[in-house]
Copies of this chain bind each other. A is one copy, B any other.
């Protein structure tokens, strides 16, 4: 279990900073493990503190809230595969299929429904959500886009896929929860394909 963005060269820090950094790192590891195992609701500061072998008040001192700890500890590394071999005519469907997989598998990407929920309640949640889009999703889509305006393609595709995720996995609107996965792939695949081609 690796946490990105925490590989600060130890020799660059003085002893006090190093200790504080170690504590912070231990809390993050414990939080990530606990959120992944128990889910957001059942993971408590107490349980995370226990796993990190530290007093709960120290967890709060470092991260101030469970929401803050959640966004800080989850990498949300989508690990998008290289899509350069995908047939351009199949790119839309491939993206939709990949998107559904990431949203339904907590293991690969972290708890995305919780992240989307926190994006509207917690400034750090919003920043993280935007970072996931701009650093991971947008570049992948831009490489696939054949339209004259790849940034627009990416923005349009984001609206379609985020709307799907929001209604199916966060709000759980029955009429979209009930739709077969294959129908989603076909229908949204066509839409995403059109946005990629820009017509």
Contact = CB atoms under 8 A, between A and B. Distances in A.
Given A120-B120, A121-B121, A166-B166, A175 B160 contact: no
A158 B163 contact: yes
A167 B160 contact: no
Interface in A79-127: 116-117, 119-121, 126
A70 interface: no
Interface stretch (A23-31, A44-52, A186-194): A186-194
Contacts of A188: 156, 159
Main secondary structure of the interface of A (DSSP, over half): helix
A158 B167 contact: yes
> What's the number of copies of this chain in the assembled complex?
2
A140 to B, nearest CB: 14
A162 B116 CA distance: 14
A131 to B, nearest CB: 11
A3 interface: no
Nearest to A161: B163
A58 interface: no
A7 B171 CA distance: 30
A192 to B, nearest CB: 10
Contacts of A151: 175
A116 B119 CA distance: 12
B173 A158 contact: yes
Interface in A34-73: none
A40 to B, nearest CB: 12
21 contacts: A120-B120, A120-B121, A129-B171, A130-B173, A133-B173, A151-B175, A152-B183, A155-B167, A155-B173, A158-B173, A159-B160, A159-B163, A159-B166, A159-B168, A159-B176, A160-B191, A161-B163, A162-B163, A163-B164, A166-B166, A187-B195
